[in-house]
Chain A
Amino acid sequence: MDFPIFHLDFIGNRAMIAIIAVLHAVINHALAVGLMPVVTMLEIKGFRLMATQPELAEKWDRLAYRILFFAFIITTTIGAMTGVGIWFSAALINPASIASLIRVFFGAWFVEWGVFVTEVVLMLLYFLTWKKLKSSMAMKFRHVKYGLFLSFFSWITMAIIVSILAFMMDTGNWNTNRSFLYGFTNPLYLPQLAFRTPLAMTMGGMIALFLTLIFTRNDQPFRAVALRSISKWVLVWGPFAAGGAMLYYYMIPQNLTGNLPVAMGTIEFQSWYQQIIVIVAVAIGLVILLANWAYFRPRTTPVWLAGVSILLIAGLMGHFERLREFIRKPYVIGEYMYSNGYRVEDYPLLKRDGVLKHANFVATKEITVDNQLAAGRDVFILTCSRCHTSNGAVNSLASKFTNMFGTKPWESGPLKGYIKNMHSARYFMPPFPGNDEELEALTVFIKSLQDYPQPVPGAQDGLGFQKATPAKPLAYN
């Protein structure tokens, strides 16, 4: 990966990207894709009653508006900015992969942008004209149409993004036939969509249920009616979400056994695979329980239970997002690029010449007896730092090696033996790309973690060139 490498040596890079991405996914599913149709549905309920029961109609309208208000505030701030944040953080943490993805998916992203602009404009229209467009049936009808369009475009936005996510897990035939369409029609696309759509709808319904419980506290008769129709929504979509999750769950291995046989064997995946069934069952079960409760006993439905089940489904989503993270390991782009940013085809060259020689943003080019430690640190930055910290809080090399070799001084032989074969020992790690000299330097650095650990700076602290022998241009000769 020929980029200056941003590195957070305490919390780790993956933690940063995970926080931003999961937050965005949850907001997008629950508050945009899932909640907009619910709000529109509530508005339509009021619209239908406008002529006959204006008072009740106004109640529906008010409820719909208050739920929309909540969604509007969150989606146009945290939602929108975490969306940008995914780009920013991915570009910092794995620039090689996002840059390659952009080249494959430029068309999709460009269309996505168009859809996104439409979605934002509709959102603004829908929210800001609510009070203006309610004096007559005709105006209200127009307003309801904005809501329907908005719901549709929110879903399209998600449908496009899912293809890119699916591609990252499984490149389909793209690797042999590099075109955009192959990326798009990869085998995991439909199962993912079949899972995410009802999941989003269920989450949207749950949020609406939760907010209705809060907003209608002082109007018990209306509360009962409102809860009933929202819980019906949840009860319709919930089983589809469960079904989608199962479908997706069964499709993953079928599609991945072809590509990543060993992924199935890694401890991490196995534990994920066993947990997910339990979590899906509990989450969906709770949701259905709550929806039934709200339907049959609207008066006694507890708000906190709604809150808990929303958190649980959000957790479920986070869990599924994690799947993408490690199921594609050791690759960031299946079979094409490893998570350390090197392409599979780079390996023979790098193993022969070493990674330092071809890295333009590291200060150490040649390993000598004096600079082994500095060189080893650079090798760590280039080959391990996308997934490990040196001695930080998350997935640190120091703790991993302590686990394996204990606390007595580590020896070079076993360290080298392990790293050389780490891909076969732990399939989710890419093979070590460097040559023997670099391996030696890396072990010197790793041993230093045992007796004199120092935080490893990333590119954001400077590249450290000035300290190298000065005035020798590194420019291409």
Chain B
Amino acid sequence: MFPEGTFLKRLIFMFIQILLQAPTIVQKDIPLPLPVPEWFLIVVLVSMFLVHMLFINFMVGGSIITLAYQLLGLRKPDYDKLAYEVAQTITVNKSMAVVMGIAPLLAINTLYTTYFYTANALTGLMWIMIIPLVTIAFLLLYAHKFLWHRLEKNKLLHISILATSVAIFLFVPLIFLTNVNLMMFPDKWSVVEGFLSALTLPNVFPRYLHFLNACLAASGLLLVWYFGRSSFDFEGKFPALSRYRIRLNLYTVTFYGSVVQFLVGPIVLMTLPTQGLGWNVLGVILTGASIAVFALFWLWKELNAQEAQFGKHFPKIAVTMGIVVLFMGSGRQLYRSNVIDPHRKLVAQKTADYEKMVQEARTEAARPPAAGPATAINMPGETVFNGNCVACHQVDEKLVGPAMKEAAQIYKGNINGLIGWIRKPGKKREGPAMPAQTHLTDEQVKQVAEWILSLNT
């Protein structure tokens, strides 16, 4: 299927394949009605997905920051303690991330059933790999957290444990992004060949960058709050560090994470296939972006504030960021429905037509056959035989079981023996055994036995 050559050539080839015009598949939907109104599913999908993503951001960003602090800790031990502190938050965030992901998964499964499952199947191996990969990442995170003091002497090992789970966390989002991208483009389904080729869909990597920045921005902000709490005895725990400095650094992470979004965002927008772009999408996204400007403004003020004034703008920043995310999430859903909805209409039409054909074929089949050659079957036992035994027996020749003529010889004058065999077959010959025919009524068994014996004449 692929031209011979290097990995790179293969990728380029795939990329070209993806860009080519390919037949658009129009599938049939599940013919049962939606269990709840569509708007409800959309609300669940958008809102719960954002909550899910928030925890994912905290989890991924948190582990990256832990890793960074631990590396710094090699020089300055207090940073290692700081890393330990951040690692504590990941346990909670990762569990919440998984469980909050179930609702949007359920909603997308219900609303976009055939689209989502199609994307899943087309990238199937990698899709199912998510399960073991994430399990391993979680186990490693626990090992990292609970063996912290025992591995004090072996930092290299300790840090590599964390680095491995960070690497997994950085990879898995690509699988998800590929899937939600692929599901929107039925015109690509027929040319995609597994995960790698779907990965080359034009929009995957810009969105990935967008996601990574969001992770850093969100976890920076979370930790600014976490270390700022008055109940948190920062000075006692980390005598060599300044609470203000650390929080300032975390703010900086958030700031840069957000500024870069202003560069990556337009790229995401430009690489989106145009078929879903509309004024509604642009309007929502641009509104979100302009609100983000306020957040950036306050962030800037925080970065330049006096130590005494520091932290004053935090609530405003958190709230505006939340609103921005809500806008971006809605924009994303609008885009998705812009792209898919016309196709969904075709699918609905095809499903309805198909159901009609199904019903027609059923009535046709239920009609009693026109009086045909009534002569063919003259004993009821033959009907039983044709319905239940022909898979394994023929009249004259051995198939799976022996020819019925042979059986007729064996049981000549012994109909009860024959009935007994059919009810409870034994094992005589080489090869498979005959399954007991317990589903037949006594009457049917008798009929078929009579018919078999009638072959003797």
Contacts and interface: CB of A to CB of B under 8 A. Distances in A.
Given A78-B135, A81-B131, A474-B23, A2 B362 contact: no
Given A265-B439, A404-B431, 5 more contacts: A81-B134, A91-B116, A417-B391, A462-B194, A463-B192
Interface size class of A (residues with CB under 8 A): 35 or more
Interface residues of B, number: 88
Interface in B65-109: 91-92, 94-96, 98-103, 105-106, 109
Interface string B200-226: 000000000000000000000000000
Contacts of B446: none
A103 B365 CA distance: 29
Q: Which of B130, B138, B387, B391 has the most CB of A within 10 A?
A: B391
A123 B92 CA distance: 10
B346 interface: yes
A55 interface: no
A99 B109 CA distance: 7
Contacts of B105: 84, 87
A348 B357 CA distance: 10
Contact of A265 (B132, B431, B438): B438
Interface in A449-472: 458-463, 465-466, 471-472
12 contacts: A4-B118, A81-B131, A348-B358, A348-B364, A351-B365, A360-B25, A405-B400, A422-B391, A424-B389, A425-B388, A425-B392, A462-B192
B131 A102 contact: no
B27 A361 contact: yes
A107 B21 CA distance: 41
Contact of A6 (B27, B102, B124, B197): B124
Interface of B: 1, 17, 21-28, 30, 32-36, 91-92, 94-96, 98-103, 105-106, 109-110, 113-114, 116-118, 120-125, 127-128, 130-132, 134-135, 138-139, 142, 189-195, 197, 346, 349-350, 354, 357-358, 360-362, 364-365, 387-392, 394, 399-400, 431-433, 435-439
Interface in A320-367: 345-346, 348-349, 351-353, 358, 360-361
B33 A458 contact: no
Interface of A: 2-6, 16, 20, 73, 76-78, 80-82, 84-85, 87-89, 91-92, 95-96, 98-100, 102-104, 106-107, 109-110, 113, 116-117, 120-121, 123-124, 128, 178, 180, 261-262, 264-267, 345-346, 348-349, 351-353, 358, 360-361, 403-406, 414, 417-418, 420-422, 424-427, 458-463, 465-466, 471-476
A124 B128 contact: no
A91 B121 CA distance: 8
Nearest to A406: B431
Contacts of B131: 20, 81-82, 84-85, 88-89
Contacts of B113: 95, 99, 102
A266 B121 CA distance: 32
Contacts of A348: 358, 361-362, 364-365
